[in-house]
């Protein structure tokens, strides 16, 4: 049930109420939530020219090369200086397309200063063929500066297509051979324990992208991990589940803010603030799951289907643009009974909150509404993904 509190949430709520200063606790949480929204994340994509750097930038951003704001791609060097590509939905997330290494202008030993290495949280080193001493020299310099880096072998689909002409073609074996060849070349170039991720920039749901994504999120701190997960393209059910879990983790904190506002002796303030809180976070959930006109239009273009066909899969959630104060008030009136069914449980389990009836109602209603909405938005996002991946009718 969407309104049921977990044991951990009840204990945290008891602790906050027990400290006696709910307003101060809520102010701290507000700062924490604001910090989450504004935490910058800068990802650098580097490697030799023609290795697929720009294509990988676009893939991570969920953009086609023809979309506004996409990185320019081409067989010649198209990036001559670090170029920032802001995320289409999260302005605090930036993917940087760095100049190709190994040219006369950009030698590995001087490269990091030229591209201002301190600007980036981590580096992805890309090659479409063999890794060389250029890559490992760059990696050693990155390591000296205590930054993380990851090797990506791009365009593996090209290798697979070439191998498919052979009678004894086996995809898993071919991928393993590519991986072993990359690792061997990196070791020869001086990399002791290389780990290589195989990608096709046009098919991120295949090969090692999800493994790369999981590795990155596990090595980021909590705030940057939150931002990174929300920035990932909605290419698989697993990524959608991670987004839901990440958003769900902070619902009780948002509800506690509502609770703190609810105890203030200002008539009507709680309702106004609750509605504003709900509008903001419901829109954020829709945008995270790609349930907005811009995201759906881009997805329709990428999969070659009418946008109306993708929208037809959405059964429970509105689009982000449809979430207004009036919409929330309508849903609130329908959901009041559901939220109030758990109010008594909260008041029984959390001594002290019972005396703060207005705050208690605000807490339960906000939490119930956000949990219910998040469940429905995540379910619709899964349906849109399924529809997008269905084979096109001939």
Write out the chain's pLDDT in tens, 394 residues: 444 555 665 566 556 555 555 566 666 667 777 777 788 899 999 887 777 888 888 888 888 777 788 877 765 555 567 889 998 888 889 999 888 776 666 566 677 888 888 889 989 988 888 887 788 888 888 888 888 888 898 888 887 887 777 778 788 888 888 888 888 888 887 787 778 899 887 777 778 888 888 888 888 888 888 888 988 888 888 899 999 998 988 887 787 777 665 544 444 444 545 778 889 899 999 999 999 999 999 888 888 889 999 999 999 889 999 999 888 888 877 665 445 544 544 544 455 554 444 456 677 778 888 888 999 999 999 999 999 888 766 5
For Cα atoms 376, 382, 385, give the angle at the middle one, nearest 5 degrees.
Answer: 140
Q: Please, which residues have CB within 8 angstroms of residue 185's CB and are 6 or more apart in sequence?
A: 130, 131, 132
Q: Give the CA dihedral 40, 41, 43, 44, nearest 10 degrees.
A: 30
0.75 exceeded by pTM? yes
Q: Which two tokens stand for residue 45?
A: 């994509």
pLDDT of residue 242: 92
pLDDT of residue 69: 80
Give me the DSSP letters along 108-153: HHHHHHHTTGGG-SEEEEEESS---HHHHHHHHHHHHTT-EEEEEE
Count other Cβ atoms within 10 Å, centred on residue 38.
11
Q: Are 82 and 3 in contact (CB under 8 A)?
A: no
pLDDT of residue 383: 94
Q: Please, which residues have CB within 8 angstroms of residue 140's CB and are 6 or more apart in sequence?
A: 190
Burial of 31 (0-12, 13-18, 19+ CB in 10 A): exposed
Q: Are 365 and 332 in contact (CB under 8 A)?
A: yes
Residue 55 and residue 59: Cα distance in Å, rounded?
A: 6
Q: Please, what's the b/e burial string for 318-347 (b: 16 or more CB within 10 A of its CB; e: otherwise)?
A: bbbeebeeeebeebbeebeebbeebbeebb
Q: Please, what's the b/e burial string for 44-82 (b: 16 or more CB within 10 A of its CB; e: otherwise)?
A: bbbbbbbbbbbbbbbbbbbbeeebeebbebeeeebbeeb
Length of the chain (residues): 394
Residue 341 and residue 128: Cα distance in Å, rounded?
A: 58
In 3-state terms the chain splits into helix, strand, coil percentages (rounded to 5) of 60, 10, 35
Residue 394 and residue 238: Cα distance in Å, rounded?
A: 29
Q: Please, which residues have CB within 8 angstroms of residue 146's CB and are 6 or more apart in sequence?
A: none
pLDDT of residue 2: 45
pLDDT of residue 300: 87
Q: Which two tokens stand for residue 238?
A: 């697993």
pLDDT of residue 310: 92
Q: Are strands 93-97 and 83-86 parallel, antiparallel or unpaired?
A: antiparallel
Residue 179 and residue 194: Cα distance in Å, rounded?
A: 10
Hey, which residues does 254 pair with through a beta bridge? none
Q: Which two tokens stand for residue 161?
A: 């297509």
Q: Are 182 and 194 in contact (CB under 8 A)?
A: yes
Q: Are 72 and 78 in contact (CB under 8 A)?
A: yes
Q: How far is CA 310 from CA 67, 69, 197, 207, 271, in A?
A: 19, 23, 31, 25, 35
Q: Which two tokens stand for residue 212?
A: 């790369």
Q: In the 8-state DSSP scheme, what is residue 251?
A: H
Q: Does domain 39-233 have CATH number 3.30.380.10?
A: no
Farthest CA pair distance, the chain: 78
Q: Please, what's the b/e burial string for 123-132 (b: 16 or more CB within 10 A of its CB; e: otherwise)?
A: bbbbbbbebb
Annotated domain spans of the chain: 7-37+240-389, 39-233
């Amino acid at each position: 049930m969407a309104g049921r509190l977990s044991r951990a949430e009840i204990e945290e709520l008891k602790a906050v109420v027990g400290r006696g200063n709910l307003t101060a606790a809520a102010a701290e949480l507000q700062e924490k939530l604001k910090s989450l929204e504004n935490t910058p994340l800068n990802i650098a994509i580097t490697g030799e020219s023609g290795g697929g750097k720009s294509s990988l930038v676009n893939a991570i951003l969920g953009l086609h090369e023809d979309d506004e704001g996409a990185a320019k791609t081409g067989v010649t060097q198209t990036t001559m200086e670090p170029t920032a590509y802001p995320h289409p939905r999260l302005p605090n997330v930036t993917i940087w397309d760095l100049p190709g290494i190994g040219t006369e202008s950009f030698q590995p030993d001087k490269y990091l200063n030229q591209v201002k290495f301190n600007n980036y949280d981590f580096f992805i080193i890309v090659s479409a063929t063999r890794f060389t001493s250029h890559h490992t020299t760059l990696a050693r310099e990155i390591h000296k500066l205590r930054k993380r880096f990851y090797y990506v072998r791009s365009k593996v689909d090209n290798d697979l297509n070439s191998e498919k002409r052979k009678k004894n073609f086996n995809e898993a074996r071919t991928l393993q051979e590519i991986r072993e060849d990359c690792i061997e070349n990196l070791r020869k170039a001086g990399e002791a324990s290389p780990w290589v991720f195989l990608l096709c920039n046009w098919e991120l749901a295949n090969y090692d992208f999800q493994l790369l994504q999981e590795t990155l999120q596990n090595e980021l701190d909590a705030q940057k991990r939150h931002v990174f997960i929300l920035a990932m393209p909605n290419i698989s059910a697993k990524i959608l589940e991670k987004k839901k879990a990440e958003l769900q983790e902070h619902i009780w904190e948002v509800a506690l803010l509502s609770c703190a506002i609810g105890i203030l002796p200002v008539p009507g303030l709680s309702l106004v603030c609750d509605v504003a809180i709900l509008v903001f976070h419901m829109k954020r959930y829709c945008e995270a799951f790609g349930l907005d006109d811009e995201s759906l239009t881009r997805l329709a273009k990428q999969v070659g289907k009418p946008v109306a066909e993708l929208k037809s899969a959405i059964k429970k959630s509105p689009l982000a643009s449809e979430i207004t104060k009036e919409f929330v008030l309508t849903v609130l009136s329908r959901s009041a009974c559901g939220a109030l069914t758990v109010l008594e449980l909260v008041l029984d389990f959390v001594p002290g909150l019972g005396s703060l009836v207005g705050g208690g109602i605000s807490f339960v209603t906000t939490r119930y509404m956000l949990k219910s909405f998040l469940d429905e938005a995540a379910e619709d996002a899964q349906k849109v993904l399924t529809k997008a991946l269905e084979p096109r009718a001939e």
